[in-house]
Structure 1
Amino acid sequence: MLTFEEKLHIIETFPELQRKDISLGRVNFHFEESVQDKKIVVQNLHPNGNGFVFAGHLPYKQRDKKGLVNIRDYSEAELRELLEQAIAYLSKEPAGIEKEEEAADCEGTWVGRNQQELTLVREDQLWNVYAGSNLEECFESPVEAERYLREEGFRKKR
């Protein structure tokens, strides 16, 4: 496992990331040139070596609900690759749904393999997935919501 100092050194070799010291000795790194809403690439890097990197480019099952992966046990090569991929992902406009009219097309009922149904609804600034009246997931964009539904085996009901 890399130490906190080793992880800091690796992350600081990426000139496009700006360090932001936060509480309890933790550090965030921001990518201000991001063309997406997400700006924090490294989150809560802790002196104990724990921390998270945004990985919206990875399949939903490989990251947490916020799109982060834990880098506690990453090697130098793995960390560099993850950071490169995160920066590349945040440098591109989201693929797929790009216009408001097209985003509205993904709203509605989605059907799974066993005929279970989920509903995708835009509410305020979020895209929410419901199972009946229960909120299952929240997303900041229709692209993320649609990607999640497709990865989970759901298709838009026509």
Structure 2
Amino acid sequence: MLTFNEKLAIIETFSELERKDVSLKRVNFQLPNSASDKKNIVYHLHPNGNGFVYAGNLPSYQTDDKGMVNIRDFSADELKKLIKESIESLLPVEKTLEEEAIIGNQVEERWVDKEKNHLILINENDTWNIYYGLNLEESFDTYGEAEEFLKEEGFRRV
């Protein structure tokens, strides 16, 4: 198990994060430019080595009901990987002109697979449409059907 100071040293290598000291000598690290209202990436890192990292958008991790993963027994490589993926899942995505033409004022969800292929899910006229670039890939009657399809195809919400 990594010590508090070892975990702290790893976390502090991520320049995107801001340290926030909290009660009982615990430390949070926040992502100020998160695209979500979720800002805490590292939550309540404690001097005893316990702490949590947000993985609510990462289906490959077992999370609690707040989307957090306990990092008490993580190795250095596991911790680095989790924090990197967590940050990537919460950073705002720049839209291309083509995407702006499709999305317009609609609310979109972005999905990515392991090969970094990006899909956009949009609700248009009571239909859930999945786009790859400018191309309409699939259409579904419900959000649940679209979400199930994306997960089955190996995509995760960003």
1:48-72 per-residue CA deviation (whole Å, 9 max, x = no partner) reads: 1000000123228711111110000
Amino acid at match of 2:42: V
TM-score (norm 2): 0.61
Could you list the runs of 5+ residues in structure 1 that have no partner in the other structure?
A: 107-141, 152-158
SS in 1 for 2:58: coil
**Maintained 8 Å contact 1:53/1:68:** yes
SS in 1 for 2:20: strand
Residue pairs, 1:1-158, within 5 angstroms = 1-59=1-59, 62-92=62-92, 94-95=109-110, 96-97=120-121
| TM-fit CA distance, 1:92 | 4.0
Amino acid at match of 1:15: S
Counterpart CA distance in 2 for 1:105 and 1:60 is 28
SS in 2 for 1:48: coil
- Matched with 1:117 is none
Counterpart CA distance in 2 for 1:30 and 1:98 is 29
Amino acid at match of 2:83: L
Identity between Structure 1 and Structure 2 (%): 51
Counterpart CA distance in 1 for 2:6 and 2:76 is 8
Could you list the runs of 5+ residues in structure 2 that have no partner in the other structure?
A: 94-108, 111-119, 129-142, 152-158
TM-score (norm 1): 0.61
Q: 1:147 to 1:40 in 2, by over 3 A?
A: farther
SS in 1 for 2:16: coil
Counterpart CA distance in 2 for 1:24 and 1:78 is 26
SS in 1 for 2:19: strand
